[in-house]
Structure 1
Amino acid sequence: MAGDRFNYYLKMILNASMDEYSAISEQLENDTMISVDEAEELEHLIARYMQANNYKLGVRIINSVTGNEELPPKTFVDNFGDTADYLGEEEQYGITWKTYAPKRGFIMSPVKKWYYNERISQILSKALIDVIPGRFISYFDTPPWVLGTVMAPGSRYLALSELVELAIARGSLANWDALIMMGIPADYVKAIKSTNVGFQKDSSN
């Protein structure tokens, strides 16, 4: 029955207008018929849609600490600020990836196909933050062809295996197995040492 409630909320979120999200979120918090994990997943989806809608509407966001105006985060909901073409989902190494190709304005990118999984991105961001170029916080949530451009200033693309080796060399990551302990599948950890499945240069790979 919990699955039915999840689908009920999912449909509601997908069809909701911007001003309805807060009410749905409040309803979720008080619903005892849905699991905590499902509620968190739906809340995260609401946040993503709100961010995407804010971006499309040109909503101004002011950082409460710096007082500077910022753009809302660009997410997979709007194809990362319309910099990528969504190709569909693929299963590799027990992971469901969303796959993307660079938009026309980024066709010179050496990376022709990008594999994205939000959970994997979160783990890698936490594990490798100390070696991410420019400490760009959205590094693993940004298509590689965007890194180093005006849309991601101060960043640059490095292969995932290079980042891991750099983190190990600097002592911020114990070893490759530490990624497994953090929740990344062992088969994927083994593969990225040589193939970098998350950032393929050839879409036929």
Structure 2
Amino acid sequence: MDIMPTQLRKFKFRAIPLVLIFCASVFPLKASSSGILVLPFLIQGNPEKAGLSDVAQLPEHMQQAAHFLLPTLRSYPLQNLESTRSSLETAGWSSGETLDQRLADRICIAARVDYLVAGSAQFIEASQTFIKSSVYSCREHKIAASAREAGSVAQLQSLMRKALLASTPFLPAAQNAVDASPGQHADQRPLDLAIILDYS
């Protein structure tokens, strides 16, 4: 009569590893890398001459703008800004610091993401503004794609959208995403972002 309980116990011990293997394959571990992180923008030139104020907060404002726009263009997990700040502190990143491979890899490890969006904005005057978006691949340890757009301060939002879209061709398009090329007006939801970028 003691044989049956022993067999059951053996069956249970054999079943547990199988269950764990199944769960690990269906539900990825939290420690695995996933998502994309947007860094504060690097500001160059003369923002005041371009008509912008609150220059000290401009890197974070531009980061927030890109963080808002990216989900309207691409369907990919996006790390929230609070977690981003924590990851940057852990990696030892300083505001205004240029992103090199060593620093990028430290941020990738701290944040456990797949990609980093490193943006820069160069302001010459109101009619001359340059927006650049470079996307670093944490898996390949290199810049996967980059894009640069030029225009006026009045076109800042449009320039950011175009640069973000062009620098992420390897990511799936967001549902109902709109082409950032001129003449496309089907979806104007990102226009709410003008509140963030209005420094007048």
Q: Assess same fold via TM > 0.5.
A: no
Over alpha carbons, which structure has the higher Rg? 2
Normalising to structure 2: TM-score of the pair? 0.26
Q: Which has the higher strand share?
A: 2
Normalising to structure 1: TM-score of the pair? 0.26
Q: Which has the higher contact order (CA 8 A, sep 6+)?
A: 2
